[in-house]
Amino acid sequence: MKVSKKISPENILLIGFPSNGLVGTFTISYLINNLGMKQIGEIDHPDLPPTLFVEDGEILPPIRIYKKNNIFVIISDLPFDPYLAYVFAESILQYCKKNNIQKIIIVSGMETINGDPKAPKIYGLVTHQSLEEILYTNQISKFLTGSIFGADAAIITVFRKSKIPTLILYAECHPFFPDPEASIIAITTLAQILNIKVDTIDIQKKMERLRIQHRNLMEETIRTLQQQENQPARAPQIYR
């Protein structure tokens, strides 16, 4: 009698943080609620500004960790300058090693000027060739030419040097306002990759609430993005 060995699904980490259009924040927040994920931890660092958030009377740390089954989530409600983004990414990488994370997916927004705001496109960028098939299978256009700077560049640089394959999803969005339309395309694309069902009507209703909730976060994110253009890089802590 042969007993087939059950193959455990790979551990996947989803990451969202404030950037253009708050696409990463909206997308990951929606999936946390949609999947009924439970908070299992938080990330702290002495260089992070002392900040707490209150939601429905509950005190929340700015960087939280959630989990359900084989899907882990790390979400930040703090916008990062490049130095803090580097610290954030290094902390995540250590967490990945301890929890046997085999794939990372980052969701972010890509500033666009000429795109159709009612029909934003989504692009993919991978750090390892093993993830190219995900782009092909899900008909995601590859990010072929352009520049990445600031927090996104710092985070991707850390993961690019690691052995953990990372996929970055970039949705076209408005850079200065919360962009629910871009978030919807990001959510549906991510759900397709993860084989999760989502209701687009439900997404639209929740996007409006998220847009109102995160107006202040968008203002803070814009200030951070603008500062990144003029702020000199800080030396890593080990050299201070």
What's the pLDDT tens digit per position in 5-33?
Answer: 455 689 999 999 988 888 998 899 889 98
Most confident of 5-19, 50-64, 104-118, 145-159: 145-159
Mean pLDDT of the chain: 82
Mean pLDDT check: name the lowest of 138-142, 195-199, 212-216, 228-232.
228-232
**Whole-structure pTM value:** 0.82
Rounded CA gap, 189 and 170, in Å? 11
Q: What is the 3-state secondary structure (H, E, C) of 27-69?
A: HHHHHHHHHCCEEEEECCCCCCCCCCEEECCEEECCEEEEEEC
What's the pLDDT tens digit per position in 137-193?
Answer: 999 999 988 888 888 888 999 999 898 999 999 999 887 778 888 989 999 999 999
Task: Answer yes or no: is pLDDT of 69 > 90.
Answer: yes
Report DSSP letters for 66-99, one per residue: EEETTEEEEEESS---HHHHHHHHHHHHHHHHHT
pLDDT for the residue numbered 227 = 59
Q: How many residues does the chain have?
A: 240
228 compared with 83, residue with greater pLDDT: 83
